[in-house]
Chains A and B, each alone.
Chain A
Amino acid sequence: MKILVCISKTPDTTAKIAFTDNNTKFDSNSVQWIINPNDEYYALVRAIELKEADPSVVIHLVTVGAADADAIIRKALALGGDEAIRVNTESQDSYSIASQIAAVAKENGYDLIFSGKETIDYNGASVGGMVAELLDLPYISLATKFELNGTAATVTREIEGGEEVCEVSLPVVVSCNKGMAEQRIPNMRGIMAARTKPLKVVEPVAADPLTSITAFSLPPVKGGVKLIDPDNVAELVHLLRNEARVI
């Protein structure tokens, strides 16, 4: 059983979001980079749990990015996984990233490909689905539970107002959502082991992006809170009805 986990580098969840170059580029000055939480907490940790249940499982991590992504991929290896692959190209749109990951997957062959449900920076939620299409594999998005039964899996996915349970034969691509696993903190042994785990750098295949960002903007600032006396909640109801007109 071989599992590929897609890892993306994103700004820390508390990072201040600002832009440069006339609002066309993300200002990465003084930004701390982390493993995209959805990739880490849900996709990677679930893959590690599967390996803990069956030590013959092999986990590869893949990321698309320049050498500055190495620190993140080592951090991921400290949590678990056997080796990492970095496709040596700047990450652009979802399609170009998915094309690189699909090329790695074709080369190595995996039974299972996990991604996070979305990255917390560009919120595309698209790479997993695109990889699945490029490999002509089934795809289950927003999975909250994943149980392996031999060469098949039982997967629960989120739908509007509930969940759907499905059966699928491997290989399959799954995007992982909260519920799949719980966040882990890497231990010293893992951190030491990660230093010597293989990190293979491969050159990209030709894949032009289909989209590009032309400008960024920040949401309008709120006008300030209107405080209501806790002993006069009827006033809040009145304001919501007649001023905000939302109830």
Chain B
Amino acid sequence: MCVLTFIDIAEDGSVKKSSLEALTYGAQLAKQSGIETQAVAIAPVTEELSALGKYGVTKIYQVNNEALKHFDAQVYTKVMAAVAEQSGATVIVFSNNANGKALAPRLSARLKAGLVAGAVALPNITNGFTVKKSVFSGKAFADVSIHTPVKIISLQPNAFKTEAGEGTAEIVAFSATADVPKITVTHINKQSGEVPLAEAEIVVSGGRGLKGPENWGILEDLAKELHAALACSRPVADAHWRPHNEHVGQTGGAIAPNLYIAVGISGAIQHLAGVNRSKVIVVINKDPEAPFFKAADYGIVGDLFDVVPKLTEALKAG
């Protein structure tokens, strides 16, 4: 019996931050049940895996196979199933990030192991096995009970803080006979130096109040000062002022940063649904009646073209 956590590795070979959260979650879950935490790394990794022991994992299965260089959910699922069997995993943990969303459901169907996708807390094991997750796009939570002997949890990014202590993990080579992937990755477009939105601790977001894409410079300056990711509301993405991947809200992405700064966004219920798990919300809007103020922790009623540059300056001033 053990908890098995999937280590998601970025294209540059580094371990994704969301995976560190999943490892911390896996370790605390294992402690709660009095069992061991193990993990598995499938893609090539440039980091020293044994150092991940500081997140509480004791053993890491490392799969070295050139065919598994790029993520293919179908092939990775078979490898995960093989590792799960060998390790005797009773709980398998993923991050509910892009790859986790492809892999966890497949593994669930393959193993007939119940899945809770988007968990926000450790399971309640006092009576059965129940996991809290966000539902109705952030408007509510549901406690989901898993009925099967093997359980799969994918952890919502930014819902669980990473905790590092001391420790070194034992690395075990795992030889997997992998099928030839049916998906060929031809290229990856990634803007280096940018904070990925889903993983960002601070997000600066703009709405129609910005009046046009040419005015985004003031938000970019603010985001740079805060090491924040940029986001936008639906009308902004629909008007192609900003790329679709920056759209947060009910039909865009759901995020849960520590700090969300909404600039020129009125705060329609569909937008709030995607951001209301943010720990602290700051709203800057010239309309004191904007519904977003009701969901905010701090607000400034004022002209954003005046307030935002001043805010950037105030941050620079220390």
Contacts and interface: CB of A to CB of B under 8 A. Distances in A.
B135 A210 contact: no
Which label, helix, strand, loop or mixed, suits the secondary structure of the B interface?
Answer: mixed
B144 to A, nearest CB: 5
Contacts of A226: 297-299
Given A233-B310, A247-B259, A162 B189 contact: yes
Interface stretch (B50-58, B59-67, B98-106): B98-106
A95 B109 contact: yes
A218 B277 CA distance: 12
A124 B136 CA distance: 10
Contacts of A128: 105
B188 A165 contact: yes
B146 A126 contact: no
B2 to A, nearest CB: 20
Contacts of A165: 185-189
Contacts, number: 287
B300 interface: yes
A138 B74 contact: yes
B117 A160 contact: no
A158 B98 contact: yes
A157 B184 CA distance: 12
A95 to B, nearest CB: 6
B136 A137 contact: no
A158 to B, nearest CB: 6
Interface stretch (B41-49, B160-168, B196-204): B196-204
Interface in B124-150: 130, 133-148
A187 interface: no
Interface stretch (B21-29, B205-213, B245-253): B245-253
Contact of A219 (B116, B117, B143, B276): B276
Interface residues of A, number: 82
A130 B198 contact: no
A134 B101 CA distance: 16
A230 B300 contact: yes
A132 interface: yes
A187 to B, nearest CB: 20
B315 A237 contact: yes
A167 B298 contact: no
A231 to B, nearest CB: 8
Contacts of B106: 129-130, 132-133, 139
Interface string B274-302: 00110111110000000001111111111
A142 B104 CA distance: 14
A126 B294 contact: no
Contacts of A130: 105-106, 108-109
Contact of B270 (A13, A157, A246): A13
Contact of B135 (A121, A136, A167, A244): A121
Contacts of A179: 244-245
Most B CB atoms within 10 A — which of A154, A178, A229, A244? A178
A126 B185 contact: no
B245 A236 contact: no
B113 interface: yes
B118 A123 contact: yes
A247 B251 contact: no
A227 B297 CA distance: 9
A210 B147 contact: yes
A144 interface: yes
Interface in B198-234: 198-199, 201-202, 226
Nearest to B115: A126
Interface in A136-165: 136-142, 144, 154, 157-165
Given A160-B16, A222-B297, A234-B314, A126 B259 contact: no
11 contacts: A95-B114, A120-B273, A129-B102, A129-B109, A159-B99, A168-B182, A168-B184, A217-B143, A219-B139, A229-B300, A244-B298
Given A168-B182, A178-B252, 10 more contacts: A95-B112, A130-B105, A132-B74, A142-B98, A164-B187, A182-B238, A210-B114, A212-B145, A219-B140, A236-B300
Interface of A: 11, 13-14, 17, 19, 37-38, 41, 93-95, 98, 120-130, 132-134, 136-142, 144, 154, 157-169, 172, 175, 177-179, 182, 209-219, 222-223, 225-230, 233-234, 236-237, 239-240, 244, 246-247
Listed from nearest, the 3 A-B pairs whose CB atoms lie closest are A230-B302, A129-B105, A161-B196
